[in-house]
Amino acid sequence: MDYYNEDGAYAQDGAYAQDGASESASVQDGGRVVRRRKAPKAKAKAKAKAEKKHYVVVSASAGGTDGNYSGASPMAAAKKAATKRFTPKISALRITVRETNTDKTFTYNIRRVKLKVPYVSVIKGKEIVRSYQTVAKAA
């Protein structure tokens, strides 16, 4: 069993153990008592992020069908595709995406909505202003 001694130094089983000392017992080393404690476990990995899948635009009401998009969900990929196709004159689209591995198709009605109060964020000292939000619903 691995543990840390009272000085904070890392030690393995037997480094301070005496004959007949049990795993959970305290052991004495030169007159001082060293209490065993389990070595800290490696931090559990953060919950795995959703695996990104790849999608191809099958049809779009505007802007053509070119492009491969990835996302954790088909809606995320459809929103990315719509964002590329929005113009000042086009603010609503119907997009169908196909997952490349399973050939399932998903259709969404996507529109761009102007925010009442722009969302401002600062990234690496540069101010970024978002004036629109992309809203999607399954068709």
Question: pTM to 2 decimals?
Answer: 0.61
State pLDDT tens for residues 7-42: 656 555 554 444 444 444 455 555 555 555 565 666
Please report, as a single letter, which amino acid is at residue 95.
I
Task: Give the per-residue pLDDT at 21.
Answer: 46
State pLDDT tens for residues 37-66: 565 666 555 555 668 899 999 999 888 888
Task: Give the per-residue pLDDT at 62.
Answer: 87
Query: Running DSSP on this structure, what letter comes out for residue 49?
Result: P
82 vs 22, more confident:
82
Domain boundaries, the chain: 1-44, 53-138
Q: What's the whole-number mean pLDDT along residues 81-102?
A: 92
Nearest to 73 by CA among 106, 46, 95: 106
Task: Give the per-residue pLDDT at 51.
Answer: 81
Task: Give the per-residue pLDDT at 64.
Answer: 84
Chain mean position to CA 75: 17
Question: Could you give the C-alpha distances from 119 to 18, 92, 106, 133, in angstroms and in order?
Answer: 65, 21, 29, 10
Q: In whole angstroms, what is the distance from residue 137 CA to residue 72 CA?
A: 16
